[in-house]
Amino acid sequence: MTIQLGDVVPDFTQKSTEGDISFHDWIGDSWAILFSHPKDFTPVCTTELAEVARLKPEFSKRNIKPIALSVDDVDSHNKWLGDIEETQGSAVNYPILADADHKVSDLYGMIHPNANDTLTVRSVYIIDPNKKLRLTLTYPASTGRNFAEILRVIDSLQLTEYHKVATPVNWENGDDCVIVPAITDPEEMKKLFPKGWKELKPYLRMTPQPNK
C-alpha cells in the first residue's frame, strides 16, 4: 500500500511495549511521529531510539507523540530496551509497536522488496491531529536519522498549518518566512502580517515569523 501526503493514515490495533494501541485513538488531538526499524538489536536503531527518548520534551512542546515500530515481538522489544538504556544512557519513554505479523508494515508500505523482502525500511511518518500524513522520509539502513532536521520540519509544518506562510530554504525556527502567493489583498496582508514584509518580487515576499 502506498500512502500519499494528505491521506488519512490507516488505523490499526497492535501490541506494544505499553500495551495494546489503537492508533487513531492513541493519537487523539495530538500530532504523531511514527518511525520504523528493521528489527531489534540493530546498532543504528539503538542510537535512534535513545535520541528520541532524550528529545521527548521537545516533541511534547510541539504536541507530538512519538511511537516506534520494529518487526519483533514485545518480549524481544523489552530485552532491547535494557540494552538501549545501558549503552546510550537514556530509557525509552514512549511505546514501541510489535509488528511480528507485519500488519502495520504492510498497511504503511514499509517493506520494500528491492531493499529487503522481509525487513521494514527505516521510515518516518509525521501525522497531524486529523490523522493525515504530512511528511514521510525513508532512510537507508546505514544512515542514522537526523532528528534535528525532523524537529525543524515539524516546526515548519505546524507554523504553515496555522499561518499563511511557507518556509524558505534552510529555514530555522525564528527566521523570516515567505507569504503564500494566494494572499494578494494589501489590507488582508496588513492584518495577517502586522510586522510588515519585504517584497523582493511580487511572488516572493518575506515577513518575520508570525508566531514569534
163-207 CATH: 3.30.1020.10
Contact 132, 153 (CB under 8 A): no
Helix extents (H) in the chain: 23-27, 43-54, 56-61, 74-88, 103-107, 147-162, 186-192
Q: What value does the mean pLDDT of the chain take?
A: 93
Residue where the block lists cell 515577513: 207
In this prediction, residue 116 carries a pLDDT of 56
B/e letters for 92-109, b = 16+ CB within 10 Å, e = fewer, are bebbbbbbeeeebbebbb
Domains 13-144 and 163-207 share a fold: no
Catalytic residue among 27, 32, 33, 45: 45
Read off the pLDDT of residues 176-199 as tens digits, 9 standing for 90 and up: 999 999 999 999 999 999 999 999
Residue 210's alpha-carbon distances to 160, 165, 191, 201, in angstroms, are 10, 9, 11, 20
Coil, helix or strand at residue 74: helix
Domain boundaries, the chain: 13-144, 163-207
Beta-carbon contacts of 56 under 8 Å, excluding residues fewer than 6 positions away, are 66, 93, 94
Coil, helix or strand at residue 33: strand
In this prediction, residue 58 carries a pLDDT of 97
- Band (pLDDT 50/70/90 cuts) for residue 131 is very high
- Band (pLDDT 50/70/90 cuts) for residue 37 is confident
Beta-carbon contacts of 146 under 8 Å, excluding residues fewer than 6 positions away, are none
45 among known catalytic residues: yes
> Model-level pTM?
0.91
- Band (pLDDT 50/70/90 cuts) for residue 95 is very high
13-144 CATH: 3.40.30.10
Query: Does residue 93 register a pLDDT over 90?
Result: yes
In this prediction, residue 175 carries a pLDDT of 98
In angstroms, the CA 38 to CA 71 distance is 6
In this prediction, residue 120 carries a pLDDT of 54
Read off the pLDDT of residues 101-130 as tens digits, 9 standing for 90 and up: 989 988 998 876 655 545 556 789 999 999
Percentage of the residues of the chain whose pLDDT score is greater than 70: 95
